[in-house]
Amino acid sequence: MAYSQIRLKILPTVRCLFDKPVQIKVEGLAPHKPVELRSKLVDDKGVTFKASALYKADESGQVDVCRAPSLGGSFTGVDPMGLFWAMAPDTPHSKFLKKTVLSPTLVKIEAVNRETDEVLASETNERGYMTEGMKRVPVQEGRIRGVLFIPPGKGPFPGIVDLYTFGGVLTEPRASLLANKGFVVLALAYFGYQDLPKKPKNLDLEYFEEAVNFLRRQPDVKGPGIGIISISHSGGLALMMSSFLSGISATVCINACNANTVIPVHYKDIIIPALTPVVKNIKITDSGLVDIRDALPDPTLEKNRASLFPIQRSSCQFLFAVSEDDHNWNSPFFAKQAAATLRSHGKETFQVVSYPKAGHFLEIPYMSNCPSGFHGAVGSNVVFGGEPKANAEAQLDLWERVQEFFKSHLDKNTH
């Protein structure tokens, strides 16, 4: 049979948003013939990410990834999006980087003859971030640095501040994809971006207050309150903002700590010092990676209490998402403490959702897991944890929950 009849299709179309699933089909193969499917992308750092899976054509010479199981490779079993979430970097300890969302992420899918390594058919999936008509506005307003995403259509929309990881500066992918759902989202950097200080001695809550006020002033943003989405180190800043600033209605903390870490935070005459890590609790794994999971002491002990964020002062709703295989720190323990603090002050204003086997980075759907990588505060590669499939399932579940949470607490007065 001539190879020219073999076709690889990406359905419904080759172009889609990054958080949308696609269907991959191969047609024109010899019946029951094995075929390998490979996926590949190159990120903005030039790192290549790849996955592969072995399939067997049915009696009509077709492979439909939505129905056929992978028999081996990066994942096994029926998984329509396995070739995306199971991607791993060629360069170890690399995290997928997308600097700006003005261009899509290109994922090349190939059908390959395993015996000869010959490419039988290929197609490229363009995974974009912004719906038609969305505005992306770089922000340099006073001290504030970031990027504002405004969805198309008739506003006003609920507003959200998006804070990212310590080393990640800001995340345009999450902010833009969230904006597609009908929110105005400000991806806010807080150091090491443009002209912001690279190594600040402390962080001022006034900076974040300025950002909240800026967002609330936007004509496209409806009130009364706004939301915050945060992950890792910025989860603490989200808790600090929720404790001291007015106008915050809903706060998402993904794998956060209930006490301040790394850099002291100042607000007016209040100083919240950073917890001091317990060095003897740091382990080195067999492969030579640093494991800092148990490095932070219990923040509720008398000597550490100055570092606790006074979240009993907050008036917003909280969604704490925690991964049980988080090796950056013990986020389930910290979320439990945060919940207990709120409850002991008569506030049932929180939900905690826990993901077994997921790692520190719960990102947007179909983004591959980063089980280890460079840690900005530690200065070396550390374990972040997470089994790829469990992490992928957690990301999918959390993405729906986050939208639901913000819609129910920020969008009360729509039809």
Amino acid identity of residue 11, one-letter, is L
Residues in CB range of 207: below 8 A, 6 or more apart: 143, 144, 190
Q: Are 30 and 66 in contact (CB under 8 A)?
A: no
Q: Dihedrals φ, ψ of 214, to 5°?
A: -60, -45
360 is an active site residue: yes
Q: Omega of the bond prior to 173 within 30 degrees of 0, cis? A: no
Question: Which residue spans within 47-134 are E strands per DSSP?
Answer: 48-56, 63-64, 88-89, 105-113, 118-128
CA distances from residue 165 to 149, 256, 300, 332, 390 in whole angstroms, order as listed: 19, 10, 24, 18, 21
Please tell me what DSSP assigns to residue 390.
H
232 is an active site residue: yes
Joined tokens for residue 294: 């148990």
Q: Which residue is catalytic, options 94, 232, 234, 314? A: 232
Q: Which residue is catalytic, options 74, 162, 230, 360? A: 360
Q: Are 31 and 61 in contact (CB under 8 A)?
A: yes
Cα separation, 130 vs 135, in Å, equals: 8
Q: Which residue is catalytic, options 326, 327, 368, 375? A: 326
Active site residues: 232, 326, 360
